């Protein structure tokens, strides 16, 4: 019989379900929560409630469209963490009861590992060892990937995540949440050299993104005082300049990691890897340093259950299941 796994993702503000059969993703159903837009960030309590509303229809659609009957599911997988506790609880609780009713095992998946394993959904796939720059709304990590489930964090942010820096800048500019895609859009029409922002340099391979948020805040406050129409008149150039600074901070450490570990297989993962400026810069670096680069498809960059399913497949092959007493962990590490 085939290994068929239903996977559920509910760590933040995306409710998603996917069915994987013998390592092949059959679908990836995602319901995005628009309820947070007007608040400038994810409101945890609203996210959990929206997950409760979306979860059953999303799972139903995933199972029906996969053509795999419930009775042929081999396991149910879910995101154990890291993420928002209330949101995680919705997915974990459903996975437990569904698996118990079907009499199949459950598989707990680390969300950050799953972002990296999204690279194994489609060809071309990186070969081990490779370095992955994982950039999302909650994390910024440089990871040395030695095998499917063997990963080591070699650098990470000491404060804000880079996605947070994008979102907080967008909020200061009066743009709705999530601001990253909008900054990306306006940056395309702007000049990145018009405004200068400080590039923080942490020791080793670590990052810091809280300084730029404060720098943007004071920069806007001072300029608006002199010209109330400053943001409207310069939106594209402000976005391009901030984006350029954030990307420089990321690639500076990525280059350092590649050199230190003598690795030329380089991947990016997580929501911010959808950024077109980062993608272009990575292509340039690949040419310059002879890197083999791996950039996931847009739908596998932001939160999705296909990546959870992929991770679950490898855990199933190793017999790594968990008990029904498993609990979510908001700050789960590798």
Which positions lie near ligand KG4, rule CB under 6 A?
12, 136-138, 163, 166-167, 178-181, 184, 270-272, 274-275, 302-303
Other C-beta atoms closer than 10 Å to the C-beta of 67 total 11
Instruction: Give the one entry of ligand KG4, Zn ion, none that residue 134 binds, where binding means its C-beta sits below a cut-off of 5 to 8 angstroms depending on kind.
Output: none
Least separation in angstroms between residue 183's CB and ligand KG4 is 6
87 binds Zn ion (CB under 5 A): no
Asked if 273 touches Zn ion (CB under 5 A), the answer is no
> Closest CB to ligand KG4 among 234 and 304?
304
CB 43 within 8 A of CB 35: yes
Of 136 and 273, which has the nearer Cβ to Zn ion?
136
Q: In whole angstroms, how close is the CB of 179 to ligand KG4 at the nearest point? A: 6
Strand 265-269 relative to strand 130-135, pairing: parallel
Q: Is 303 in the site for Zn ion (CB under 5 A)?
A: yes
Q: How far is the CB of 305 from Zn ion (least distance, A)?
A: 11
66 binds Zn ion (CB under 5 A): no
User: What does 167 bind: ligand KG4, Zn ion, none (CB cut-off 5 to 8 Å by kind)?
Assistant: ligand KG4
Q: Tell me how far apart the alpha carbons of residues 229 and 292 are, in angstroms, rounded to a whole number.
A: 44
**Minimum distance from CB of 111 to ligand KG4 (Å)?**
7
The one of ligand KG4, Zn ion, none whose footprint includes residue 82, by CB under 5 to 8 A per kind, is: none
Q: How far is the CB of 246 from Zn ion (least distance, A)?
A: 17
Which tokens is 42 given?
């994810």
Q: How far is the CB of 269 from Zn ion (least distance, A)?
A: 9
CB 212 within 8 A of CB 197: yes
Sign of CA dihedral 178, 39, 218, 140: negative
| 3-class secondary structure, 9 | strand
| Contact between residue 320 and residue 107 where contact means Cβ atoms under 8 Å apart | yes
Please answer whether residues 208 and 159 qualify as being in contact, where contact means their C-beta atoms are separated by less than 8 angstroms: yes
Query: Residue 150 is encoded by which pair of tokens?
Result: 């063997």
User: Torsion-angle region of residue 104: left (phi > 0), alpha (psi -120 to 50) or beta?
Assistant: beta
Contact between 136 and Zn ion (CB under 5 A)? yes
Contact set with Zn ion (CB under 5 A): 136, 303
């Amino acid at each position: 019989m085939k290994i068929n796994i239903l996977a559920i993702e509910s760590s933040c503000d995306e409710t998603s379900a996917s069915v994987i059969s013998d390592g092949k993703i059959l679908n990836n159903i995602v319901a995005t929560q628009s309820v947070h837009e007007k608040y400038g960030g994810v409101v945890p309590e609203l996210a959990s409630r929206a997950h409760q509303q979306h979860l059953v229809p999303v799972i139903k659609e995933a199972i029906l469209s996969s053509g795999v009957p419930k009775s042929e599911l081999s396991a149910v997988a879910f995101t154990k963490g890291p993420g928002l506790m209330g949101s995680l609880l919705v997915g974990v609780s459903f996975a437990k009861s569904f698996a118990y009713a079907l009499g199949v095992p459950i598989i707990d998946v680390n969300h950050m590992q799953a972002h990296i394993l999204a690279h194994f959904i489609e060809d071309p796939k990186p070969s081990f060892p490779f370095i992955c720059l994982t950039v999302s709304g909650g994390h910024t990590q440089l990871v040395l990937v030695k095998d499917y489930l063997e990963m080591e964090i070699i650098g990470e942010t000491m404060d804000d995540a880079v996605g947070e820096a994008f979102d907080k800048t967008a909020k200061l500019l009066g743009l709705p949440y999530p601001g990253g895609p909008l900054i990306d859009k306006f940056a395309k029409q702007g000049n990145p050299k018009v405004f200068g922002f400080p590039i923080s340099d942490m020791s080793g391979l670590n990052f810091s993104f809280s300084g730029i948020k404060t720098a943007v805040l004071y920069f806007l406050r001072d300029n608006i005082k002199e010209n109330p129409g400053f943001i409207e008149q310069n939106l594209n150039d402000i976005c391009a300049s901030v984006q350029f600074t954030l990307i420089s901070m990321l690639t500076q450490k990525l280059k350092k990691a590649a050199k230190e570990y003598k690795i030329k297989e380089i991947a990016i993962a997580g929501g911010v890897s959808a950024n077109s400026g980062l993608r272009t810069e990575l292509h340039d670096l690949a040419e310059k340093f002879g890197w083999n680069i791996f950039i996931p498809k847009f739908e596998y960059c932001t939160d999705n259950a296909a990546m959870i399913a992929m991770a679950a497949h490898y855990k199933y092959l190793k017999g790594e299941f968990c008990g029904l007493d498993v609990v979510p962990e908001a700050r789960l590490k590798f």
